[in-house]
Structure 1
Amino acid sequence: MTLRQAPWAPTALAAVVVLALTGCGGAASAQPDEADTFVFATGKDISCLDPHVNGDMPQASLAANYLDSLVSQDKDGKIHPWLAEAWEVSEDGLTYTFTVRDDVYFTDGTKFTAEAVKANLDHMVDPDTQSGTAGGYLKPYESTEVINETTARVTLNRPYAAFLEVLAQPFLGIESPTALKRPQAENCISPVGTGPYKIVDYIPQSKVSLVRNEDYNSAPPFAQHEGPAHIKNLEWLIVPEDSTRYGLLRAGQVDALDLMPSVHFAEAEADKKVQLVLQDRPGNPTNLMLNTTRAPFDDIKVRKAFLHSVYVEAGINSVYFGTVTKAGGPLASTTGFYSPDFENAYLPDPAEADRLLDEAGWTGRDEQGYRTKDGKRLTVVLPYTPAAWPTAHAALVTQIQASAKQRGFDVRIENQDFASSSEKYNNFDYDLRAGYWNTNTADVLRIVFSTEYMKSAGFVPNGSGFSNKEFDRIVNEALATDDPDIRAGLYYRAQQIVSENALQLPLYNQTSQLALRQDRFANLTLEPSLSLPYIYDVTAVNAS
């Protein structure tokens, strides 16, 4: 059985669909029941468990199960109370006054108060935290004043219409202020939250062990029950190799996994014991970013020629077997204010690619068939970390390399470790950069393409190095208004500018692809803000 979760965005193309596939049977009846252990296998390692530090999706996936957020977001994009019971926004949009719950405790015994709000927001923007994601979202943050134990007044330096939306993400989950006072290395291995589970052990590159928070009383509105989680122990295994991870699921050694390998989709869909939970994520799709700060991609004609040179859809179909959806514009289709008008802006067009390269002066050919100009080969370098990507992604990149060669591009894929590629990314020492940015707001356009985000806070979000005054003005105006029609017009123009300037090669929408042993467990869902695995509601199956 395949369960396609409803996306949060009201403009999304997908809907809730349960596909009764050939060979699939219904799950056994599920009754809320305490089970001893739920084993979840993920494909990517987590260098630091604290999602405030750096900020990658594996951190957020785990954090969704031991941290609560100030506010929650539903599948339609609406914001609801969570740890914050209520809030007021000043007329100028610069002040948010939160009233927080007075009956919640962190799992280290610290009481959750307005002081925790201040400690967390300050921690996220502290340069020492190196918070590329949470800190990046909070660039408008100025300060927090603790009015009393249950009231925190947050001041921004400019209007920020996406503020509540980003606060709903696990990246900005609330941690114990007591724990945050520890050295970062210590907090990285044992962050403390108010959530349904608490971390009890972490073996890097192996597993994270969590145990149920027996005093949990702060379930979000999107949860299916209240009180402690149904499952007592949660084992979060790190299994990078795709076939090994899937093999553990088939053998019953793990109960669920993410990054479901595309080569095994058909087999899983036909297995009565397995349920697939699928959902495209909002934000900036998986892409190859073009570095405009140096040759050859400082020439827009060369950038456009590159985009017209490659066969993305054919490559996706051959390595992902229809398990991901092609992206063509700067926003995933599940993102608010997404427009489909830019999906087909750069279809494969060898003749147009040749024309543009000729106009750009790359008219020569060397003995290997690569384009040349003034005796120099048309070379583009892609620093690449295979461990950070699914096997299918690496295969897709190789296919892009081959198709670009036909037009005369020498795409050099330089495999290296994460630290080496990060250093190059932070110094614009590349021509192509593989990436994506999952977030629940169209403000991702500002984060990924505006001048403001060309500096590193642990990571440089604007990997293209694009700097455009009109674009910067538009995306900031979109944050200064709550009028959806005005925001729609502004974000349309922002998408248009990105597309016209050929800043990235969109590949496919990021997606949550989970597989669950439905003969043993049920109710594995996705939290709505980023479509991440949510274990709190999982129940043991009473086979009948």
Structure 2
Amino acid sequence: MNKKLIPCAAIFAAGALALSSCGSSPGETASSGKIVTDGTLKFTGTTDPGNLFPLVNPSSDGKQVMAFGYDSLISLDRDGKLRPYLAESWTATTTEASFTLKSGITCNDGSELTAQTVADNFTWITDEKNNSSELGATVPEDLKATADNATRRVTLTSTTPSPFLIENVGRVSIACSAALKDPSKFAGAFGGTGLYNLTDVKPGESYTMTRRSGYSWGPEGTTSETPGLPKSVVITVVNDNTTRANLLASGSTNAAYVTGADARRLNALNMKGLSIQLAPSELFFNQRSSRVNSDPAVKKALVQSTNTSEIIDILAGGKGSPAQSLLIGGEPRICTLDDVYKSIPAFDVNAAAKTLDDAGWKMSDDGVRSKDDQKLAITFVYRAGAEKDAAFEHQADVWKKLGVAVTLKSADAPTIIDMLFTPGSSDWDVADMNVSNYFPSVLVPYFSGETSNNFSNIQNPTYNKNVAAAMKTVGVAGCPEWQAAERALVSDADVLPLGWTENTVFIQGFTASQSGVIDPWSIRLSE
């Protein structure tokens, strides 16, 4: 059904699925000098943002670019509190969210944004044929939307209780009528109410945006005339981590995502950054009936033979730490889940071998185990990168010694995402992906159910039982159940969180707030 993702990864973390408010502290700064009027801001991203129609693209790089052209009904501050954006007021329960729009909002083509257009966004999302990345993740599948243009009121209702309903639906990027009517025309253009127009596109290279006039509905009173807002923004695509660091060090870019040794080099230069803690990789195991991980012993043995401390240190350049949660570590902190790594089956290669032996996977003369004439052979797909090459080649060697034939396949993030989330595509056995969010309810479609969001076909009754209990609560009251659900996934080897790293978007020459992406409305250039 739906093709979607979540890595809410760090702002520019390649291949992360972003469906969240990945907040750092609004107002964190990299400069406190004189305000610059009508300057140019230069961002450096890690991967091409892909399709720029926001209702089908959940990637983090895509979200950052699209934030300049699309607004949401509300935003979140650092404490997780709601603040006005397109909506001036709202009410909510676990099954209904109602928003009253600000007056005078216009699209970048000059047309008015009406309550009906906002409602049409949610109707579009819930139409399964559209394969929206929001459906089942931030937007309940049974959601109904109604509108009253006279009062500018939009009402969204669901028969399924959702603890964080208003936070999730309220942060969906809203497309204007023209984009909803023909999304294909907006794969490389903006069709929203955002502060910027997209004026030049070079796929795979750069995206240039220019501030529009007449914008007056931004959070905290932001308008087109607010001092310090960039006149133009240029986002370039640079895959190499060291190159991004060099651009920052030389002053050639204002912002870039940098990890590992290069991040430590920038820290030594006292460069400021917006940071969150996040797993750079989680391992998922394809449990469809045609794959070897449909045998629980196989995925358990693969986990038992993975030294997560060793792997995360390779991925993080020696700066990794145990995974505290499948959620994102940072502000706003919705549920404090702080010890999920303790639920990982213990690292013990001998125990892993015994697990396979006991399940009937016997070693053959060629060094590869087999059972019922089936070879224990896996295809391990991962997002390309030097650190990942080193980490996963090492892990493949460990698994080969265990009697597993391993084929490694690396590709750019969009290719891996398509491979995992396209219905009917299942030519993989182990996958490197980061599926994370601040809100545990958003993760449910990726860990359960029958849609293509559940790309590894997880069927975990204990997880489902705890989720059902948590869904009956409002907000943080369900956190103990969410924690139990998360532990069930990890202890059953459905997901292997390899660890956490400090993910930093280094910035200079401007101040900004962060709520999943650097908020365009909050940017203030300075010198």
**Structure-1-length-normalised TM-score:** 0.82
Distance in 1, matches of 2:122 and 2:496, equals 34
- Alignment correspondent of 1:400: 395
Match of 1:71, as an amino acid? I
Give ranges in structure 2 of 5+ residues lacking alignment: 1-9, 12-22
CA contact (8 A) 1:291 1:432 kept: yes
Distance (Å, rounded) in 1 between the aligned partners of 2:173 and 2:24? 28
**Higher RCO by CA contacts (8 Å cutoff, separation 6 or greater):** 2
Could you tell me how far apart the structure 2 residues matched to 1:38 and 1:337 are? 35
Tell me which residue corresponds to 2:62.
Answer: 59
RMSD: 3.3
What is the DSSP-based 3-state SS (H/G/I as helix, E as strand, rest coil) of the residue aligned with 2:154? strand
Tell me, yes or no, if the aligned pair for 1:74 and 1:222 is still in contact at 8 Å. Answer: no
Q: Determine which of 295, 304, 307 is the counterpart of 1:311.
A: 307
Distance 1:306 1:224, change over 3 A: farther
Counterpart amino acid of 2:458? F
Distance 1:374 1:35 in 2: 69
Instruction: Tell me if 1:422 matches 2:418.
Output: yes
CA contact (8 A) 1:107 1:192 kept: yes
Q: Which residue, 261, 264, 271 being the options, matches 1:263? A: 261
Asked if 1 retains the 8 angstrom alpha-carbon contact of 2:124 and 2:130, the reply is yes
Look up the SS of the partner of 2:199 in the other structure.
Answer: strand
Counterpart code for 1:393: K
- How far is the alpha carbon of 1:431 from its aligned partner? 1.1
Aligned length: 499
Conserved in 1, the CA contact under 8 Å of 2:259 and 2:503?
A: no
Once the two structures are superposed, residues 17-45 of structure 1 have per-residue CA deviations (whole angstroms, 9 ceiling, x without a partner) of: x99xxxxxx97641222142111110111
The TM-score normalised by the length of structure 2 is 0.85
Contact 2:319–2:501, Cα closer than 8 Å, also in 1: no
Task: Provide structure 1 residue ranges, at least 5 long, that are not aligned to the other structure.
Answer: 6-13, 20-25
Shift of 1:109: 1.3
Distance 2:68 2:267 in 1: 27
Aligned letter for 1:31? K
Distance 2:373 2:145 in 1: 58
Q: 2:405 aligns with which of 398, 405, 410?
A: 410
Aligned to 1:275: 272
Q: Is the 8 Å Cα contact of residues 312 and 500 (structure 2) preserved in structure 1?
A: no
Aligned twin of 1:501: 492
Does residue 515 of the first structure (1) align with residue 509 of the second (2)? no
1:281-337, Cα deviation, whole Å (9 max, x unpaired): 5xx873110112234212222222111101222122134224554426543444633
1:116 and 1:248, CA in 2 relative to 1: closer, same or farther beyond 3 A? same
Q: Kindly state the Cα deviation for residue 81 of structure 1 after the two structures are TM-superposed.
A: 2.8
Q: CA 1:175–1:58 in 2, change beyond 3 Å: closer, same or farther? A: same
Q: 1:286 to 1:420 in 2, by over 3 A?
A: closer
Report the alpha carbon displacement of residue 406 of structure 1 after superposing the two structures with TM: 3.2
One-letter amino acid matched to 2:82 = I
Q: Which SS does the other structure have where 2:70 is aligned?
A: coil
For residues 125 and 31 of structure 1, the distance between their equivalents in structure 2, rounded to whole angstroms, comes to 47
Residue 519 of structure 2 corresponds to residue 534 of structure 1: yes
One-letter code of the match for 1:215? G
Look up the SS of the partner of 1:343 in the other structure.
Answer: helix
| Alpha-carbon separation, structure 2, partners of 1:241 and 1:483 | 40
Determine the structure 2 residue equivalent to 1:142. 143
- Kindly provide the CA deviation profile for residues 71-91 of structure 1, in whole angstroms up to 9, marking residues without a partner as x: 11122222233222222336x
| Whole-Å separation in 2 of the counterparts to 1:158 and 1:58 | 31
Q: Is the 8 A contact 2:195 2:224 kept in 1?
A: no
In 1, the alpha carbon distance for the partners of 2:178 and 2:47 equals 29
For residues 414 and 120 of structure 1, the distance between their equivalents in structure 2, rounded to whole angstroms, comes to 37
User: CA–CA distance in 1 between the matches of 2:214 and 2:136?
Assistant: 30
Residues 160-211 of structure 1, C-alpha deviation per residue, up to 9 Å, x if partnerless?
2222122344xx2112223322x22211111222222222222211111111
Could you say which residue in structure 1 is the equivalent of 2:101? 100
Secondary structure at 1:254 match in 2: coil
